[in-house]
Structure 1
Amino acid sequence: MCSTAGKVIKCRAAVAWEAGKPLVIETIEVAPPQRGEVRLKILFNSLCRTDVYWWDAKGQTPLFPRILGHEAAGIVESVGEGVTHVKPGDSALPVFTGECGECSHCKSSGSNMCELLRINTDRGVMLSDGKTRFSKNGQPIYHFVGTSTFSEYTVVHAGCVAKISPAAPLDKVCVVSCGYCTGFGATVNVAKPEPNSTVAVFGL
């Protein structure tokens, strides 16, 4: 059992307080995961144009303050009740298009657009209780696409955590947490390459 399990963690995060304004490195509080949630220690991040687009908030409904970020890799710090597919210490990727495992899309071989955990840019809270797991001096800070990886620790729905091999270099695979959802996943589901095929995927 991790020594921080069940406790609030203080850590640093890059907080977007306003649309288009520079992110501010803040010391924030990260609550422990609730039932069906996982708290991750983020070790590597990458920057995607999507983060910049929603930070700029032009032509969208702005939701601030917020912690952006969705291309990342790290390790599982603690898990909430009912989570069995990962455990503390596992290498993992947070993914913004998760899988509940129960809906018709999750049970289909032709779609990864989960009815519960598909990307939602307007939702800044956790599904279980409609609250955030981030705060600063009591002020809630909103989540971004269920991942919010511009924080040293983040809390995500368990269905948005993919366990990976401990041998995988986390500094290299962090981009996969976005690239697989958007490009490679579609290639596998739509093109359906046969085992041992050699394929090239462009435009990730």
Structure 2
Amino acid sequence: MCSFISIQIVATGICRTDDHVLKGSFPNIDYPVIPGHEGAGIVESIGEGVTCVKPGEKVIPLCLPQCGECSSCLNPDTNCCLKTHLYESQNLMPDKTSRFTCKGKAIHHFLWISTFSEYTVMPDSAIARIDDDAPLDKVCLFGCGFSTGYGAAINTAKVEPGSTCAVFGLGGVGLSAVMGCKAAGASRIFAIDINKDKFSLAKELGATDCLNPQDFKKPIQEVITEMSNGGVDFAIECIGNVAVMKAALECTMVGWGTCTIVGVALSGQSIPVSPMQLIMGKKINATFFGGWKSVDSVPKLVSDYMAKKFSLDALVTYTLPFDKINDAFDFMYEGKSNRTVLVF
């Protein structure tokens, strides 16, 4: 039997995935829907059988559940719980009901957690209990952006000390990937974006070279290959653009270069990859939630943040009241924010 938890959302970040939902870019979303998947809050009440949290405790809702029972959860090599939306719909609760209504009509959930609602309900496999002293307007980023980018470098790409890296896209996820590359000991980190306003912070977080593809007459993958004496060891794509994914693979070193896909491409798109690149030793992989097993890992990430092993402050450009949500989306469209956090 699935047990449910009601929480009061205190803070929620805005992610490009939420924009994809609003624009109808994902085929498996039912409408009307309440988006939002990068939040933090306080337990309001618990259902029968819930033992993982108590009312009043601080928590982070998880867009990737960890049931702890399925074959994926029991396999140390994957974090893709079989309860995730990749395998079954999360537009309703597991009991196939909605907890949201408007004027008598049911409203669908998003990834079970719908953090753009001040109060929301989720199953107990999609929640992580965190430190009582954690600032919710910062640690909400562990619900998606930071965990995804940082983990892409640490867990999925497995960046090595002394290696060279290229990170494509310098939004909140890409900047977190830069932080992950630096934490892993990379000696040179190329940060690529068409918005030069992102470069100062990227360098502050560990990038050694910042490149705008529009500044060059040749493809950016050729520029990076030349600057890195044949290609980088690791490339991480954090945009969701299949042409950029192709470029990321092409800028890696023949023989051992690894390209890690983080960005989510629109439905129906594919990457035009030459099999010869793979035959010649290049590798391509992808990550979901940075490879972290969510229930196990998110509390530890929050503890590391509280121990000042890394900072999230630079990633949050704006903190706004929730009724300014449209302004927050505009900042994202205009490239003016790395992450905007909304507080209720």
Query: 1:146, 1:51 → 2: CA distance?
Result: 14
The answer to whether residue 157 in structure 2 is matched with residue 172 in structure 1 is: no
What's the counterpart of residue 159 of structure 1?
Answer: 125
Shift in Å, 1:188: 5.2
Query: 1:178, 1:186 → 2: CA distance?
Result: 12
- 2:97 is paired with a residue whose SS is coil
Query: 1:97, 1:192 → 2: CA distance?
Result: 23
Query: 2:70, 2:26 → 1: CA distance?
Result: 31
The answer as to whether partners of 2:6 and 2:43 remain within 8 angstroms in 1 is yes
How many residue pairs match? The answer is 167
What's the counterpart of residue 16 of structure 2?
Answer: 49
Instruction: Please give the residue correspondences for 1:96-175 in structure 2 after superposition, counting only pairs within 5 Å.
Output: 96-118=63-85, 122-127=89-94, 129-175=95-141
Change (3 A) 1:59 1:70: closer
Change (3 A) 1:119 1:146: farther
The answer to whether residue 52 in structure 2 is matched with residue 90 in structure 1 is: no
What's the counterpart of residue 6 of structure 1?
Answer: none
Query: 1:70, 1:121 → 2: CA distance?
Result: 17
Flag structure 2 segments of 5+ consecutive residues without an equivalent. 161-181, 186-205, 207-235, 239-261, 263-344
Shift in Å, 1:59: 6.1
What's the counterpart of residue 184 of structure 2?
Answer: 199
**1:21-42 per-position Cα deviation (integer Å, ceiling 9, x unaligned):** xxxxxxxxxxxxx951111100
Change (3 A) 1:185 1:149: same
What's the counterpart of residue 31 of structure 2?
Answer: 64
The answer as to whether partners of 1:96 and 1:119 remain within 8 angstroms in 2 is no
The answer as to whether partners of 1:94 and 1:160 remain within 8 angstroms in 2 is yes
Change (3 A) 1:140 1:59: closer
- 2:45 is paired with a residue whose SS is strand
Change (3 A) 1:56 1:77: same
Q: Relative contact order, CA 8 A, sep 6+: which one is greater?
A: 1
The runs of 4+ residues in structure 1 deviating greater than 4 Å are 118-122, 185-189, 200-204
Query: 1:61, 1:113 → 2: CA distance?
Result: 18
Change (3 A) 1:199 1:131: same
Query: 1:133, 1:172 → 2: CA distance?
Result: 27
Larger Rg: 2
Shift in Å, 1:183: 3.5
Flag structure 1 segments of 5+ consecutive residues without an equivalent. 1-33
For the aligned residue pairs, the C-alpha RMSD in angstroms reads: 2.8
The answer as to whether partners of 1:99 and 1:106 remain within 8 angstroms in 2 is yes
Instruction: Please give the residue correspondences for 1:8-27 in structure 2 after superposition, counting only pairs within 5 Å.
Output: none
Shift in Å, 1:81: 1.1
The answer as to whether partners of 2:84 and 2:90 remain within 8 angstroms in 1 is no
- 2:17 is paired with a residue whose SS is helix
Whose helix proportion is higher, 1 or 2? 2
Shift in Å, 1:107: 1.5
Give the counterpart letter for 1:64 in structure 2: Y
Query: 2:148, 2:88 → 1: CA distance?
Result: 15
Change (3 A) 1:189 1:65: same
What's the counterpart of residue 173 of structure 2?
Answer: none
The answer as to whether partners of 2:15 and 2:145 remain within 8 angstroms in 1 is no
| Further displaced range: 118-127 or 86-95 | 118-127
% identical equivalent positions: 40
TM-score, normalised on structure 1?
0.72
TM-score, normalised on structure 2?
0.44
Query: 2:127, 2:44 → 1: CA distance?
Result: 12
Change (3 A) 1:119 1:61: closer
